Structure 1
């Protein structure tokens, strides 16, 4: 036993420096590993919290189910963006915006027309001539009357799928593609922009122009 202890003491004297350095290295290595793992855990937690917050923010900005959000402009007392029940009419939008002003020309407005989500409702002033882009005109949300007085044109920015299907040359799939493009890119600026929609070439758009408005 004494020989074993003597041998251990001898080894300790010979390798004491290396042992101490090894112990210190283990301590510092363990401390670094612990700190690094803690940072990774906190980072993962923060990322999860941020992603959850972004999802909640996106959900809160979307129009609730059973509702429509419209932007009412023109001759109303409180123009702005309003969220209303899905079955609301232009009349409800005007009321929500504080009613029409004394300068409003309500003869050009179809108050009975049903609202659509992301729609612009414009109330003209007296003496103002409405164009096809006006969404609350007497011809309705689906378009404006052709200057020749013939078949009303369909407004690409306000037309429902049923409205689009009334157009000669547009079937079920093409109507869906127009609506998908509108949802992804916003309102059409010109009728020629329809060429950007899959399935609508230059010749097709040329044939449809007489039936469309923006």
Structure 2
């Protein structure tokens, strides 16, 4: 018969105690953990979240713009004509005509974008009109009340060209203004913002006081 010393008995008791404590602890902790159950509804919710994240470029742009509502001055622009959803839209100072057109759902197939400057910076209260043809635009301008602000060419007086909104083709109708000077006017306008007075045209490269005098009565700034 194998004899066990008192010291060996002590070691055996300690080992059994350690094993017992380990098993008890594992069992108690395991009871406190609830199983994670993934249901079909959870999977469907994940699919819905993925689909909502796949926004169109315009929706993504609008959501990004919304983050800066408190940082950028808001403006209101009236978009009408050949667009998907005509109406008044709240945009932000510094945005351009193309942003207003996109906010209105884009241009309809019959809309003529050659009749408007999409790169022009928007102003509060501005009216953006997408015409279907030059004849349509000219007819509208003839019937428009004096004093209205129009995005597409004419300003306060329908017989004057608005240098803040005119296209390259419209600017070339002015005395002494050819393609290069018309482009210079638009480039200056896009870089520096709206002209506050007609005399500011002398700041445009290639247009001096003498040139301005030849068409000064043909233009306006609003």
TM-score (norm 1): 0.41
TM-score for the superposition, normalised by structure 2: 0.40
